[in-house]
């Protein structure tokens, strides 16, 4: 007996968003913010498509996981940028104070 099971298509960009989310966390100190933004944008497009027809697609779990990881990667990249900025401001002001008074 053979059943006619209709195979649903994968959500577009679900795997791409998942990979971008993972890479945005792993590469946070280089260009994770770019990967995070791209992952969020692509994820939002696919989420809107899924919300119009939830029974017509598969792969929503991987899309959701990638979208959340893209947000986390963007936040971690932002915190790293702020930390680096504060670090250089503190050291820069320290060196300016030390070497500025040597005249």
Give residue limits of the domains in the chain.
14-100
Is the separation of the CB atoms in 82 and 41 below 8 Å? no
pTM: 0.84
Give dist(CA 103, CA 44) in Å, integer: 58
- Sign of the alpha-carbon torsion through 89, 90, 96, 99: negative
Give residue 78's pLDDT: 95
Residue 94: band (very low, low, confident or very high) from pLDDT cuts 50, 70, 90: confident
Mind listing the pLDDT tens digit for each residue in 43-63?
999 999 999 999 999 999 999
SS3 call for 58: strand
């Amino acid at each position: 007996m053979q059943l006619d099971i209709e195979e649903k298509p994968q959500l577009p960009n679900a795997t791409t968003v998942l990979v971008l989310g993972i890479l945005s966390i792993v590469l946070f100190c280089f260009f994770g913010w770019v990967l995070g933004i791209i992952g969020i944008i692509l994820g939002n497009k696919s989420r809107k498509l899924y919300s119009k027809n939830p029974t017509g697609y598969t792969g929503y779990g991987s899309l959701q996981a990638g979208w959340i990881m893209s947000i986390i990667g963007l936040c971690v990249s932002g915190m790293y940028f702020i930390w680096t900025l504060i670090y250089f401001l503190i050291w820069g002001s320290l060196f300016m104070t030390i070497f500025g008074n040597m005249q």
